[in-house]
């Protein structure tokens, strides 16, 4: 076979091979297009062809779709790489480096749009807590203040010795809690009286918070003792704040204070209470219990003319010979018999009446003078206190057994 014939054979085989390859590639492209519209999965040939046509970007900061991806604004890839991890800064970072889009980390450690000699000269102080330095002064973020933005701000302040340690954050001393350290959970004794700046009348059987003590019957609290405020805050006397909602709610003094109105009947009311003691008793200001009233020392003129003996809830008058107790039992009435005179003559008893009379019978009727044996006594002038004590059987309200039998009602 000649050279020319050999060349024709080689060219023929080359044409056949090119046609086969072109046909396979066309079929693969057709299959890819078909798979995009029919939804059928790609075959191995199609996947090889697609990978040859495109190398997709990977990693963070990639925008676009799987068919058309690109680095998000502010980011680029390393030379020859396919990950968008290199930030872009418009200004020069000088002696620092670009750490995020348009932000430099300078050699001093702070973030700024640019670094270098110009940046150093424009700020000579260091700002804390995210503050930005501008012409030798710090512009602080919300929640901080001070020359270097190092002082936190608590807008409502910290109470009871609390210290501001962060934006609207208070560190409280022991015994206090709450956002502003306003809640006092210390416990101590409760006192009902204060005399000469001395706490008296400590309630027995109770150790409570200052809020509860001062909201009920307390006038001072704690050891050392602290005066209760004249106007408790945030609730008025008789109310305490709810631990969850903070709303003021009525406190039941009868349940909160052990022994309150002991010996009587304690009744809770809105913002207060009532203590109903038995007859002849009243609530003590010292221990808040129902105690017997000593009528002999508290009622003026009781058992006049005799001897008074106090009893539980009442009293008894012991009268001398010739005297009897009055109808209400509050005094001794003279029942001795003597002579009654109806008039006076030159300051002496005159016009003796026949018969024997008691001093009450004589002086409370028409007599002007009464005598027992040879000792005359002038009758009291009508309307005087002596006349009322002798002649008016019932004493005024508030004395005698009338006082002993009426119910004491006490409320703060």
d(CA 300, CA 396): 11
Query: Mean pLDDT over all residues of the chain?
Result: 78
CATH 2.10.25.10 fits 57-114, yes or no: yes
Domain boundaries, given as residue ranges, for the chain: 57-114, 126-185, 189-286, 297-332, 336-392
**Residue 139 token pair:** 């512009």
Name the token pair of 27. Answer: 């079929």
Q: Write the pLDDT tens digit of every residue in 145-204.
A: 998 899 999 999 999 999 999 999 999 999 898 889 988 889 999 999 998 888 988 888
Secondary structure (3-state) at 221: strand
Q: How far apart are CA 256 and CA 249, in angstroms?
A: 14
DSSP letters of 235-298?
S-TTEEE-TTT--EEE--HHHHSTTTTTTSEEEEETTEEEEEEPTTEEE-TTT-SEEE--HHHH
Fold topology of 297-332: Laminin (2.10.25)
> What are the strands, taking DSSP E only, across 255-401?
265-269, 272-277, 281-283, 290-292, 307-311, 314-318, 323-325, 332-334, 337-345, 348-352, 357-358, 369-372, 375-378
- The CATH classification number of 126-185 equals 2.10.25.10
Give residue 5's pLDDT band: very low, low, confident or very high (50, 70, 90). Answer: very low
User: What does the pLDDT look like over 207-232, one tens digit per residue?
Assistant: 899 999 999 999 999 988 899 988 88
The pLDDT, as a whole number, for residue 134 is: 75
What is the per-residue pLDDT for 393?
A: 55
Structurally, at CATH architecture level, domain 189-286 sits in Ribbon (2.10)
Specify whether the CB–CB gap between 263 and 281 falls below 8 A. Answer: yes
Cα 281–chain centre separation: 37
Topology adopted by domain 336-392: Extracellular Matrix Fibrillin (3.90.290)
Q: Can you give the pLDDT at residue 267?
A: 94
**259 pLDDT tier (thresholds 50, 70, 90):** confident
Q: Which two tokens stand for residue 89?
A: 């800064």
Q: Which pTM value belongs to this model? A: 0.47
Instruction: Give the model's confidence band at 268: pLDDT under 50 very low, under 70 low, under 90 confident, else very high.
Output: very high
**Can you read off the two tokens belonging to residue 172?**
């409280």
Q: Do 336-392 and 126-185 fall under one CATH topology?
A: no
């Amino acid at each position: 076979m000649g050279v020319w014939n050999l060349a024709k054979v080689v060219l023929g085989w080359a044409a056949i091979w090119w046609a086969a390859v072109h046909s396979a590639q066309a079929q693969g492209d057709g299959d890819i297009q078909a798979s995009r519209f029919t939804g059928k999965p790609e075959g191995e040939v199609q996947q090889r062809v697609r990978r040859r046509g495109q190398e997709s970007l990977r990693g963070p900061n990639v925008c676009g779709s799987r068919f058309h991806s690109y680095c998000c604004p502010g980011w680029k890839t390393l030379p020859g790489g396919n990950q968008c991890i290199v930030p872009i800064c418009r200004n020069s970072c000088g002696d620092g480096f670009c750490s995020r889009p348009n932000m430099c980390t300078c050699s001093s450690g702070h973030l700024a749009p640019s670094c270098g000699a110009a940046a150093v000269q424009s700020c000579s102080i260091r700002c804390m807590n995210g503050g930005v330095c501008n012409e030798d002064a710090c512009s602080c973020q919300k929640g901080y203040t001070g020359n270097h933005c190092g002082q936190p701000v608590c807008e409502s302040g910290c109470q009871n010795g609390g210290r501001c340690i962060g934006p609207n954050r208070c560190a409280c001393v022991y015994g206090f809690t709450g956002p502003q350290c306003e809640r006092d959970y210390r416990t101590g004794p409760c006192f009902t009286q204060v005399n000469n700046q001395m706490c008296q009348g400590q309630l027995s059987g109770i150790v409570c918070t200052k809020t509860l003590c001062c909201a009920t019957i307390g006038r001072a609290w704690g050891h050392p003792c602290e005066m209760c405020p004249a106007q408790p805050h945030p609730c008025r006397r008789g109310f305490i704040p709810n631990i969850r909602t903070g709303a003021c709610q009525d406190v039941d003094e009868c349940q909160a204070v052990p022994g309150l109105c002991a010996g009587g009947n304690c009744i809770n009311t809105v913002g207060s209470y009532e203590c109903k003691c038995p007859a002849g008793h009243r609530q003590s200001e010292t221990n808040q219990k129902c105690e017997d009233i000593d009528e002999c020392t508290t009622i003026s003129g009781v058992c006049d003319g005799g001897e008074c003996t106090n009893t539980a809830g009442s009293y008894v008058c012991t009268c001398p010979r010739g005297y009897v107790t009055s109808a209400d039992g509050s005094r001794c009435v003279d029942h001795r018999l003597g002579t009654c005179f109806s008039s006076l003559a030159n300051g002496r008893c005159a016009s003796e009446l026949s018969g024997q009379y008691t001093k009450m019978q004589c002086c409370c009727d028409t007599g002007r003078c009464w005598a027992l044996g040879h000792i005359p006594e002038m009758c009291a002038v009508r309307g005087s206190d002596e006349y009322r004590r002798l002649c008016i059987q019932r004493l005024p309200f508030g004395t005698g057994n009338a006082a002993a039998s009426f119910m004491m009602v006490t409320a703060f």
